[in-house]
Structure 1
């Protein structure tokens, strides 16, 4: 089966200022709070099979889409790769913007219904809008950021600038 590759346009704003790296962001006092709030929302996400008859009081607040698509940031010698899971979305449904040291990803998956379908008894499919923002790691060249959506996975490449590559050096770790 052929893979569907679609490019996603990356919109740029004025040159961003250096932002904290992913490691610095992890130590932020608000990072822990955000993770705890997301965990609480996950705890309240009840399906008919998980706890009989109980409905989530927060489900109406978050709609039918998870709080945010699952994301992963990886680094190699050339730069960073930001990967987000956006199943059912096309390149037209997703917007990627870079501004002021941040990268913002927005999108929406719309409900597709056919009038002649049978009554739906169970639906765990997700629809609605989503938004994720990340600080750009130091040393990223914002002019060369690119995004591609393939089989429901958005991959944003964040290449390191030539200067950042020059300034990198490995530190030997000695025993004892």
Structure 2
């Protein structure tokens, strides 16, 4: 009976070839693309002054009529859809990294706001919301005792 030396790298090389084959076949790249599309959420920036909270959202390529904004005293809810434009086959697009479809985003606010006086501006793919603070939140003073 002959003694055969075990080579762990042989199995690692085999595994590497199998993973490369999955990428070559497009199985894993399509799965990754689908997962990215499911997790699409616009980027947001929140800033605050004594009078109001300012919220900016990136919505490039989305028309204003395709965005729905709902504001409560505690949060802002934004839903929308980036619609795919009709493509002509003459251009021969072979790869697209654009994300199309519906998205939604809920942003909790750090203080209560007066949601009846919210103003919105949409310019160059950036949504600007001005959320005035509720009167009780503006004058809120908390006494801290030591001892």
Shift of 1:61: 4.0
Aligned length: 118
Evaluate the alpha carbon distance shift between residue 100 and residue 82 of structure 1 in structure 2; reply closer, same or farther with a 3 A threshold: closer
Q: Partner of 1:60 in structure 2?
A: 34
Q: Quickly say closer, same or farther: Cα 1:168–1:153, change in 2 above 3 A.
A: farther
Tell me how far 1:56 sits from its aligned partner.
Answer: 5.3
The TM-score with structure 1 as length reference comes to 0.57
Q: Say whether 1:98 aligns with 2:71.
A: yes
SS of 1:59's partner is: helix
Partners of 2:141 and 2:131 in 1: how far apart?
A: 16
Where do 5+ consecutive residues of structure 2 fail to align?
1-22
From 88, 91, 95, the counterpart of 2:61: 88
Alignment partners' CA distance in 2, 1:144 and 1:111 = 34
Give the conservation status (yes or no) of the 8 Å contact 2:74–2:112. no
Please state if 1:161 is matched with 2:134.
yes
Larger Rg: 2
- Tell me the distance in 1 between the aligned counterparts of 2:111 and 2:73: 12
Equivalent positions of 1:31-46 (< 5 A) are: none
Residue 62 of structure 1: how far off its partner (Å): 4.4
CA distance in 2, matches of 1:139, 1:55: 44
Q: Does 1:140 align with 2:113?
A: yes
Contact 1:90 1:149 in 2 (8 A): no
Moved over 6 A (4+): none
Change (3 A) 1:100 1:164: closer
Question: Per chain length, whose mean CA-contact separation is higher, i.e. which structure has more relative contact order (CA < 8 Å, sep 6+)?
Answer: 1
Unpaired runs of at least 5, structure 1: 1-51, 172-176
Query: Is 2:97 the counterpart of 1:124?
Result: yes
Give the counterpart of 2:80 among 107, 111, 117: 107
Q: Residue by residue, what CA displacement relative to the aligned partner does 1:29-51 show, whole Å, maximum 9, x if unpaired?
A: xxxxxxxxxxxxxxxxxxxxxxx
CA distance in 1, matches of 2:91, 2:128: 36
